[in-house]
Every structure is written in C-alpha cells, then in structure tokens.
C-alpha cells in the first residue's frame, strides 16, 4: 500500500525526494504522437522493443501508430481491468458504475468515513441550532456561519479521502478507513487552501455572471483529485485541472451535473422521509412547516441530514475522481502507467 498521495509516471521522483511507496500520478506520459511521428530513443529500438524504421522512427508497418508502451485499448483488444474500471477512456455509464463499485468494494473507507465525519458535523450543527434558537439575530447568524464552515471543512476532508479510495480501487486494491485518512491528513491544510481559492474563483465568476461561475467551477472541478493524487502544490493543482478539462468542458460539465442530480435525488428521499416523520407528530417535533421545531425535532432533522450526506458525498466525489482518471487516460495515456502499476502490484503480491 502506498504511503503517500499521488500517482506519477513510473520512474518519476516523488515530491520531496522520498522513496515512493506505490504508484504515483504526477508526471504525464509523453505525447503519444497520434497522427504524427515521434522520435524513438537512441539505440534503434522501436515501440515495444521492436526494430526501428528508417530514420530511427517506427517501422513502416505501424502506419503512424503511437510509439511508447503498449496500450491495449488503442489496438482494439480488451483493456485490462485490475479494479473498478477498465483502463481505457470511460463511457458515462462506466464512470457512474465505477463510483458505486467503489462504494460496494470499500464500504468502510467510503460510507464509514463519510458517516463518521457527517455525524460529527450534524451533532455540532444540531447543538448550535438548539442553543441559539432563542438568541439574538447576530448570535444565530454567527452560529449559522460556524456550522457552514464546519460543513465546508468536512466536505473537503471527505473529497480528499475518497480521492485516495477511488485511486486504490482503480488498481484493484482496497484501503481501510484509517489508512485512507492517514494518507490525506498531511495534505489537509493545502486542500483547505485549494478549496478556498476554487470557491473564491467561483464567487468571482458569480459576480460577473452565473454562467461565468459555472464555467470556472467546471474548469477547476478536478483540482481536488489533482492535488491529492499528484502530490504537487495548490497552484499546480489549479493549473492541472484547467489543463485536463480544456477541450472537454461540455463532457465534464454534463457528467458532473448528472452525478450531482443522482446524489440529490437520493438525498431527497431521506429529506422527504424526514419531513414526513416531523410533520406526523407536531406535538412531539414542533411545527415542521414553520421551522419551529422542538429539541427532539432538531435531532430528527439532523439524523435525516446525516443520512442524506452519507449517501450523496461518496457519489459526487467518486464521479469527480473517475472523471479525472478518464480525462488523463484520454489526454496523457495514464492507462499505461496504471496497467503497469497494477501488474507490479500483482507480481509483488500486494494485498488487495
């Protein structure tokens, strides 16, 4: 099991010069030269170790085939699938399937961690709501701001943890909740700064125009997995997200929107059930429609919010990470790196 976040190309030095504990995701593979030639390394060897063609290029029988490591999906054969997804460009259904497959294969590190973090958030939020219910407007506003900040921190923590879980599941490995949290904690401060910058950029886009906020949000939507998995800094993650999304904005927007809709629909089920329970006994829970709840009513409402968060957060975060992997496969040949990493793990007998 890797000890630090990030996936760099095989042989790339990890950040800080420490020895890598597993596959890293930082450096993209060289362009594969689709539609054009690319020089091969000196020594006359062509792609895959075969003979080089005239002038040091690939043999003429390749007809412009991309040099570099073999890439199964590009040659029409079945792509390797060491984990939750085949290592090739993904269809929309495969991204959603991979998200749910990650949850099924790693319930402790997905549902378990989400439930634990959301429980802490809801306990604090419910306690603040109850304690400030009869306070002044300023005190209530301060309490609301505090709960929003706590929720903000909890969600960025969960997005980092789930990035690690999905990256391991892609290679066919499982990771426990403790290990997943340990991998993210050293990056949590930077992840907070990254999220603040993304939020500010989106707010600036909102001030300009709602469409601008959406455009900026999508371009920076993959910054979290880039930061957690590639091991670079905050500025690097922002640039990488824009680079990866560029040219695929509409596809990225559509998949993120669909994942959000799916998560909201599942959350709405719990919200509806909670509303029915609260409205069924106004003498016990208070007036739900007017928002005048008793202490018991606030607790029930908090439990409903907790369940909704536990279901929705892994879906959205999982889709973001798989979309990041998909676009890097399409642009940078990441499937070659991941297939090799999976083969090395299998040969070494790494626990799954």
Question: Mean pLDDT of all residues in the chain?
Answer: 77
Distance CA 39, CA 34 (A): 13
Q: Is the pLDDT of residue 248 over 90?
A: yes
Q: DSSP code of 83?
A: S
State pTM to two decimals. Answer: 0.65
Query: Angle CA(184)–CA(189)–CA(195) in degrees, nearest 5?
Result: 95
Between the ranges 132-141, 176-185, 250-259, where is the mean pLDDT highest? 250-259
> Do 101 and 84 form a contact (C-beta atoms < 8 A)?
yes
Neighbours of 16 (CB within 10 A): 7
Between the ranges 23-37, 167-181, 232-246, 276-290, where is the mean pLDDT highest? 232-246
Distances from the Cα of 249 to the Cαs of 99, 195, 217, 264, 318, in angstroms? 21, 20, 11, 22, 19
Distance CA 211, CA 202 (A): 10
In this structure, of 41-55, 71-85, 276-290, the range with the lowest mean pLDDT score is 41-55
Query: Angle CA(230)–CA(235)–CA(239) in degrees, nearest 5?
Result: 75
pLDDT of residue 352: 52
Domain ranges of the chain: 92-185, 248-347
Backbone angles phi, psi at 336, to 5 degrees: -65, -45
Q: Is the pLDDT of residue 257 over 60?
A: yes
Q: Is the pLDDT of residue 66 over 50?
A: no
| Averaged pLDDT, 10-34 | 41
280-324 confidence digits (pLDDT tens): 888 888 887 777 788 888 889 889 989 998 888 899 989 999 999
| Averaged pLDDT, 251-262 | 94
Q: Is the pLDDT of residue 3 over 70?
A: no
Query: Angle CA(266)–CA(268)–CA(272) in degrees, nearest 5?
Result: 130
Q: Where are the alpha helices (DSSP H) in 53-170?
A: 92-105, 113-131, 137-170
Neighbours of 91 (CB within 10 A): 11
Q: Is the pLDDT of residue 25 over 70?
A: no
> Do 29 and 9 form a contact (C-beta atoms < 8 A)?
yes
Higher pLDDT, 285 or 54: 285
């Amino acid at each position: 099991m890797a000890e630090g976040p990030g996936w760099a190309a095989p042989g790339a030095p990890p950040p800080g010069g420490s020895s890598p504990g597993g596959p890293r995701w930082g450096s993209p593979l060289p362009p594969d030269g689709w539609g054009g030639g690319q020089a091969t390394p000196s020594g006359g060897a062509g792609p895959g170790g075969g003979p080089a063609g005239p002038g040091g290029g690939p043999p003429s029988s390749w007809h412009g085939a991309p040099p570099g490591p073999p890439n199964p999906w590009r040659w029409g054969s079945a792509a390797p699938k060491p984990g939750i997804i085949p290592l090739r460009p993904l269809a929309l259904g495969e991204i959603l399937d991979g998200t749910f497959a990650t949850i099924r294969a790693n319930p402790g590190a997905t549902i378990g961690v989400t439930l634990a973090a959301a429980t802490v958030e809801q306990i604090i939020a419910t306690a603040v709501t109850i304690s400030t219910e009869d306070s002044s407007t300023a005190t209530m506003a301060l309490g609301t701001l505090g709960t929003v900040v706590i929720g903000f921190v909890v969600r960025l923590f969960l997005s980092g943890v789930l990035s690690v879980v999905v990256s391991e599941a892609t290679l066919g490995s499982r990771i426990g909740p403790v290990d997943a949290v340990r991998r993210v904690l050293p990056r949590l401060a930077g992840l907070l700064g990254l999220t603040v910058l993304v939020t500010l950029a989106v707010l600036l886009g909102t001030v300009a125009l709602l469409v601008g906020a959406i455009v900026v949000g999508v371009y920076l939507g993959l910054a979290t997995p880039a930061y957690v998995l590639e091991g670079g800094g905050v500025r690097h993650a922002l640039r990488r997200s824009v680079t990866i999304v560029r040219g695929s904005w509409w596809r990225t927007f559509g998949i993120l929107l669909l994942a959000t809709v799916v998560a909201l629909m599942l959350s709405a089920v719990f919200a509806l059930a909670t509303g029915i329970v609260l409205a069924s006994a106004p003498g016990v829970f208070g007036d739900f429609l007017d928002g005048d709840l008793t202490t018991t009513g606030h607790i029930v409402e908090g439990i409903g919010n907790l369940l909704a968060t536990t279901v929705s957060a892994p879906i959205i975060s999982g889709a973001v990470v798989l979309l990041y992997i998909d676009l890097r496969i399409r642009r940078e040949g990441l499937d070659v790196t991941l297939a090799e990493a999976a083969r090395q793990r299998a040969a070494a007998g790494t626990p799954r």
